[in-house]
Structures are given as structure tokens and as C-alpha cells.
Amino acid sequence: MTWRDQYQVGSFRGASFRTEGHERSGGRRNVASEFPGRDEPEVEDLGRRARQFSLDCHVLGDDYFADRDALLDALEAAGPGLLVHPWHGQMMVIVLDYSSSESTEEGGICRFRITFKEAGLAVPAPIALASADTATAEANAQASAAPASFADKFSIESAAAFVEDGAGKIVSGMAMATQLAAAAQGGVGPALRAFQAGLSFLPANLSGLLRAPLSLGQSIVGLVAAVSALSTAGRGKIVALSAMMDWEPADAQLPTTTPNRIQEAENRQALLGLFRVATACELCRTAAAMTYVSYDDAVSVRQALADRFEARALEAADAGDDDTAEALDALRRAVTRDLAARGASLARLYAYEMQATEPALVVAQRIYGAADVEARAAEICERNGVAHPGFIPGGSTLQLLTASDTGAT
């Protein structure tokens, strides 16, 4: 096989170019230490230097502006990207610098000088392993404290009958919200029986529980935890719990013009605050227990939960419920720290444009090599919703992981 047979058309992030020449540099990272009284130095090898690649290339044609702009956008995009090196094949690189030149003497052509460097892999940080435990501990602490905090604010003593009725309707609405979330998750065995027992206990003993706020708070927190225990599917659980956290009573808030109406409003806010803190604790635990394949997956979950917690914390603060606001804010910080720490060492996603229709196994072999090629092919199909693994259409754009570990943590 001649060099012409192995030569490839160059491209970066899918933007193609014609190559005139290239340079490659590398070597070893050696440190020479000299000591008093010794003529010979001691050399310590710290490993291979990151390879650098300099390409002289161009785009040309009557309408070369479009190709030039596509390559410029690819060179200035953030993060690592896939380089198809005409001589060395495919690799993940970052752009160190580039220059481009055009002239009227050479109309229809733009010349580039580009310097790339190996992207490498992020070194897993030991703190990432402990961050999930810290987030879980914060959720446990908030869940333990929530019933007592609720009991300090909720009361129907010496109140009119409609105050008790209003609180009962809210608790019944919460039970319905948990039932809907449980139906979305399924569940079998002891977890399902525990949820059904908690769900039946709440309305059957509602009158007595309303007069024992601490027991009521513990029952609501326990019911929310039972919903979470129904399933181990992290993403499905997050969807179900998020719907619970967004639940609102159907009845509009009434004006606080009398002592009874004021107590009714305070009870309503106390119940909502308890329900949201309990749900947020389960969301925090769920996020901490999940395994993330990529940095982008971790960021997506982190942002969704942080935004939801912050919005509910602001609502509680506006209603004067500082305890709930502080609890939700503490959970938001715990989730953010956990997923930021664990996501930092995970592979990134990048866009890969299919030039021709190929099986997923061929794409996985080309991008990732022979190791775990079947698992990689399955991951490509699942992530991109490929209808048939034997035929990934040409012209489609795939979201692929950088060629690193799958990010199991």
C-alpha cells in the first residue's frame, strides 16, 4: 500500500481543507538535576510530551467564502475537536493558534497555518468520589430536620373548621401527586408495598395527624422517600420527582384578612415547604447515586436541578418561609458541588458528521479502536437515537464521546 492510498482528506470538526504540508513535534519530558560533588546529572523521565501538529492548508473555489468561514468557526470553537490529519489519521486536538491569508493576486483561495496539540484526557480528581457522599449527607440532614421545622410552623389549634379542611385538602393533593409520580415509575416487591402502606396511612389517619404536626411531617417525608425507592432508573426518577416538586394546590390562595385566614396561609406554606424540601432531598440523593457517561450529561442534570431548587427557594423567601429557602439553597449548593466535581473528569461530547452511510460498529472502530467496540457502538446508537445499528445515514451529525473512559464513577 502506497502513501497515496493512506492519505486522507483533512478536516477539523467536519470543516474540510486541502493540505500542502505539515510538521510534527514531540519528545520526552526529561528533567536533569545536578548535584554538588557529582559530575553526572540525574535525569528523570516525566513521560511523553504532548504532540503538536502544524498544518499548511487552504480552501479554494469561486465560492470559497463558505468553506473559509466554516473552518474559521471550527478553529475558534471552544474545547477539543476531531482532527482528520491527512498523514496521521483521526485524533482529538485543541487549537493553539492559527493564521489565515488572502490576496487579490490569488483570488478564490484562503491559506491557513494551524497549530494543533493533543487534547489528552482529564485526570480524575479524588474529590469527585467524596462529593457524592457529601451531597447525600446533606440530603439526609435536611430530610431529618424538615419535620421538626414544619411542626414549629403548622397548627390548627383553636382555629376555625375551614383551616383544618384547607390543610386536609393540601395533604390529600400531595398524596395524589405522589401517586401519579409512583405510577410513572412502577415498582415491585417491598418498595411498592412500603409506598402503598404510606399512601393508605396518610388519608386514613389525617384527622389525627393534623393535630400532631411532627408525626404529619414525618409521614410526608416518608411517603416522598417511598416514591423515590420505587425505581433505580435515575433519569426517570428525576422526571417524576421534579413533577412532584412543582406541584401546586388547586385552590387559589385566600386573602389574609383575619387571624384564621393568616393561620390557613401559614399552614399552606408550611406544608408546601415541607413537601418541596422532602422532594428536593430525594432529587439530591438520586443525582448523587447516578453514573454519568459524559461531562455534558452531568452539566445537564446539575443545571436542571439547580435552577429548580433556586426558583423554589426564591418563592419560599418571598412568602417569608426562610427555613425552606435556606434548606433548598443548601441542597442546591450540594448538588452543584457534587456534579461539578464529578463532571470535571468525564469525557466531553463533540459533533461528528457522517460522510457516508456506515454501521455503528465501523464508526466505533474508527473513533475508539478495538477496545469495547460493541459497547461503544451500542452507546452511539442509544445516544443518537439510531433506528438501525447497521445503517447510520450519511450526512447525519452524531454526538460522540471523546476517546476516553466512559465516565463511570
Q: Which of 118, 136, 160 is the last residue before a domain boundary?
A: 118
Distance CA 258, CA 333 (A): 38
Highest-confidence segment of 9-18, 91-100, 119-128, 397-406: 91-100
Nearest to 25 by CA among 63, 54, 52, 1: 52
Residue 38 domain-assigned (yes or no) = no
Report the DSSP beta bridge partners of residue 161.
Answer: none
Residue 407 domain-assigned (yes or no) = no
Cβ burial 273-302 (10 Å sphere, 16+ → b, else e): bbbbbbbbbbbbbbbbebebbbbbbbeebb
CB 213 within 8 A of CB 154: yes
Range of the domain at 364: 349-401
Q: Which of 343, 364, 392 is the last residue before a domain boundary?
A: 343
| Residue 364's CATH number | 3.10.350
Q: Does residue 241 sit in the same domain as residue 200? A: yes
Residue 358 domain-assigned (yes or no) = yes
Q: Which three cell numbers stand for residue 367?
A: 473513533
Q: Does residue 87 sit in the same domain as residue 222? A: no
Q: Does residue 55 sit in the same domain as residue 200? A: no
Q: Which three cell numbers stand for residue 123?
A: 485526570
Residue 396 domain-assigned (yes or no) = yes
Q: Which three cell numbers stand for residue 212?
A: 400532631
Residue 19 domain-assigned (yes or no) = yes
pLDDT digits (tens, 9 = 90+) for 260-312: 888 888 889 999 999 999 999 999 999 998 888 788 888 889 999 999 999 99
pLDDT digits (tens, 9 = 90+) for 216-244: 889 899 888 888 887 777 788 888 889 98
- Model pTM score: 0.61
Q: Does residue 9 sit in the same domain as residue 156? A: no
Q: Does residue 162 sit in the same domain as residue 238? A: yes
Q: Which three cell numbers stand for residue 30?
A: 526529561
Q: Does residue 252 sit in the same domain as residue 304? A: yes
Nearest to 349 by CA among 109, 148, 81, 38: 81
CB 154 within 8 A of CB 270: yes
Q: Does residue 201 sit in the same domain as residue 289? A: yes
Q: Does residue 256 sit in the same domain as residue 360? A: no
Q: Does residue 99 sit in the same domain as residue 150? A: no
Quote the number of domains for the chain.
3
Q: Which of 67, 95, 118 is the last residue before a domain boundary?
A: 118
Distance CA 370, CA 387 (A): 23
